Amino acid sequence: MSWARNMLGPLCIVAACALALSASRAWALPHPGVATTATFKIEPDGRVVVRVTHDALAFALNDTSLRIADAPMYEFLDAGERVQTPLFDAARERFVSLTEIRAGVEGKRVEVRVIEFPSAAAVWEWRKNHPDRRLPVKMEIIAEGQLPVGARTVSFHFPEVLGDVIATIDRPGAEPLTFPLAPGEMTPEIEWKVENATSGGEPGAAKVSGASTGDHSPGTVNILWRYIRLGFTHIIPEGTDHALFVLGLFLLTPRVKALVWQITAFTIAHSVTLALTTFHILSIPSVVIEPTIALTIAFIGVENIIAKKVYPWRTAVAFCFGLVHGMGFATALGEVGLPTGQLVMGLVGFNIGVECGHLFTLAAAFALLGWCRNKPWYRGRVAMPLSMVIACIALFWMVERIAFRE
């Protein structure tokens, strides 16, 4: 009876959380993150061709791919042309007004002209060509602009709602430069100049230089830092599912040494599959990976409730689950198409950022709960109720992910 009395309060909390979970979209599993990629190709005559591959439905709904849930995505996907067309038209206007190409040190804004933009007809065609894969709907925006004569530098900016953008600048006479941009971030000034000189024996022809000694392009350290930041934000604040898994490992493990072994096994495993998936050696559809990740989180939550101590085999479980989570991490990089010269750097930087996110989660858990982990009431009043909440959320995610895939 005393156990029941002690558990009555926590169970009420769990019931309230479960009720809120079923009634609110706030706990819904975010739509799998789709990296927005943008290529800026600068022609020798100063014309800039912009190609943006993005989550077309999320952008039409004026939301980010990471934040939006599946339900409104499928509702919009199944809506007719009468509903879709006005939203795509509004998205087109939003893209034109918020996308910036700025030339020269004075930052003169260049007019952006849209050549191709997603439409209701394009969505219908996409559905016919992808009968077994309904989300995400990745489509391309093609736009162009003309740099003014004499401009030496150029910079670019996208709408914040597009989320993280992997930008590639392709300049004449220079290797393509690829680096991540935070949501709404303006690129550094990229050196670009046109000098009236003799080129190829033809008087008066333009001599184009894609880079110079005054190039403001981000260096290797800067680019590496950007990938680290991208990996960190994939966990904090965007990776709620991965962060809950790490928190679940923390709740049952009172000893730091045992927790370190589990986190190390998890880290090694997800690093392996992240590398294999990024290098296209291993490929498993997200329709399988996303529900499985939710299942691993639910498993940890349920095990925390049943098990009264950490068994040696839990390290092996953490390793196996790390293999699955690594494939989930690769979703953020798999469709980016990094240049060969930056593939390793991007992979290393992203992985470092992910680990920093895990460490931040553990540090926050220790700061909030570390003081009571050795108390006799810790398991009954803290570990078990929180594990129940984690299991409920994860099971909800799993059901939602499977249900909306049908």
Please write the tens of the pLDDT for every residue from 79-109: 889 999 999 999 999 999 999 999 977 788 9
In this model, does residue 314 exceed pLDDT 70? yes
* Reduced 3-state DSSP string for 203-249: CCCEEEECCCCCCCCCCHHHHHHHHHHHHHHHHCCCCHHHHHHHHHH
R_g of the chain computed on alpha carbons: 25
In this model, does residue 56 exceed pLDDT 80? yes
- pLDDT on residue 209: 41
- pLDDT on residue 258: 83
In this model, does residue 242 exceed pLDDT 90? no
Residues 193-209 have a mean pLDDT of 40
Give φ, ψ of 372 to 5 degrees. -115, 10
Q: How confident is the model at residue 25 (pLDDT cuts 50, 70, 90)?
A: very low
What the block records as the tokens of 237 is 């604040």
- pLDDT on residue 252: 85
In this model, does residue 202 exceed pLDDT 60? no
- pLDDT on residue 340: 60
Residue bearing the bigger pLDDT, 352 or 217: 352
- pLDDT on residue 51: 95
Residue bearing the bigger pLDDT, 255 or 162: 162
In this model, does residue 4 exceed pLDDT 50? no
Instruction: Detail the DSSP E strand segments found in 12-92.
Output: 36-42, 47-55
Residue bearing the bigger pLDDT, 264 or 194: 264
Tell me the percentage of the chain whose pLDDT exceeds 90: 26
Residues 31-52 have a mean pLDDT of 82
What is the number of other CB atoms lying within 10 angstroms of the CB of residue 282?
Answer: 16
Residue bearing the bigger pLDDT, 310 or 394: 394
List of residues 6+ apart from 43 with CB closer than 8 A: 49, 172
Q: pTM for this structure? A: 0.72
- pLDDT on residue 398: 87
- Among the ranges given (5-19, 174-188, 230-244, 375-389), the one the predictor scored with the smallest mean pLDDT: 5-19
Per DSSP, 199 falls in state: B
